[in-house]
Structures are given as structure tokens and as C-alpha cells.
Amino acid sequence: LQFMQRGLDSQTKKQLEEEEKKIISEEHWYLDVPDLKEKESCIIEERSFMRCEDLVYGRMSFKGFNPEIEKLMIQMNSKCKEEEIEVDDKMEADVSDEEMARRYETLVGTIGKKFLRKRDQRVLKDDDEDDDIDEDRNSNIIPSKKAKKMFLKPQD
């Protein structure tokens, strides 16, 4: 066929190709009938019984004969029920929400301390110690350390 010749330009090739196609397709027979609309079939073919009747898992054990299978039975049969699945999701968290909140609080504190400048760190330390002292003895202990920090104006 002419369009297969390598020497010709691609354009002329294409033109020739289209002409050849037209000639060929006119020779093909086709039905002069309007296309049938494809109807969506309402029938689904299902070959397994398991879905039709919601069958239970086939492996069973009774009265503790095989504890692993009894565990499996509960697992498998609860897959059908959504309530159990939700319970499982909650149980899956290793650390409970409360613990998470507690840890996070203290975590922020400890890491925050790291980034304080030295002065602030000393203040923090003294505060803690003062609190301890006050709690231990209910006497009047002057927080002398605090006085050190503040600048005492020399009396004229």
C-alpha cells in the first residue's frame, strides 16, 4: 500500500492512509439498525450461599474444647455486628486518653524548662525550694535567697 512507503513525507502518508481507510471501510458490511440501549440489569448473579443467608463461620468449638477456635468464633461472628467493631477500635489505643493528657502536661513543662535562659532557670529552682521549705515548717522563714536577686539601692 502506498502509505507504507518510507520515502514519502509523514503528511502525504497520513493523507494516503485516510484515503485507503475510506475505501476499505466502504467495503465492510454493517448493520443499518439503531443501537440498542444498554439496560442496567437488576439481576446480580451470586454463586455463593454465604451472602444469601448470612452464614456463620464454619469452624466451631463448644464447651471449651478448643479455646483458640472459641476466640475465633467470637471474632468472626462479631464482624457482622457493628457495635463490637466500635468497641474494638477504642480498645486498640495502647495509652488511654487520660494518661495521654497527663503525660502531655508534664512533658510540656519539662521540655519548656530546657529552653529557659540560665537566670530564669535559677528563679524556677528557688521557687521550688521555697515552696518545699514553707510546706515543711510553718514558721516564718524569710525567703532570704529572693532578697539576693533584687537590687538593693544603697542608702545615701
Partner 1 sequence: QYVPVKGDHVIGIVTAKAGDVFKLDVGGSEPASLSYLAFEGATKRNRPNAQVGDLIYGQFLVANKDMEPEMVCIDSSGKSSGMGIIGQDGFLFKVSLGLIRKLLAPKCEIIQELSQLYPFELVLGMNGRIWVKAKTVQQTLIIVNILEACEYMTAEQRRQALAKLSGN
Cell of 37: 440501549
Q: Which three cell numbers stand for residue 90?
A: 477504642
Taking the C-alpha atoms of residue 24 and residue 18, their distance in angstroms, rounded to an integer, is 10
Check binding of 48 to partner 1 (CB under 8 A).
Answer: yes
Among 3, 13, 15, 69, binds partner 1 (CB under 8 A): 69
67 binds partner 1 (CB under 8 A): no
Nearer CB in complex with partner 1: 40/53? 53
Q: Which residues have a Cβ under 8 Å from the Cβ of 46 and sit 6 or more positions away?
A: 52
Q: Is 82 in the site for partner 1 (CB under 8 A)?
A: no
CA atoms of 149 and 126, how far apart (whole Å): 11
CB of 84 to partner 1, least distance (A): 15
Site string for partner 1, 4-43 (x = CB under 8 A): ----------------------------------------
Are 58 and 76 in contact, with CB atoms under 8 Å apart?
no
- Alpha helix stretches (DSSP H) within 81-140: 82-92, 97-114, 118-136
Query: At closest approach, how far in Å is the CB of 66 from partner 1?
Result: 5
Does residue 50 bind partner 1 (CB under 8 A)?
Answer: yes
Interacting residue ranges for partner 1, rule: CB under 8 A? 47-50, 53-66, 69, 72, 75-76
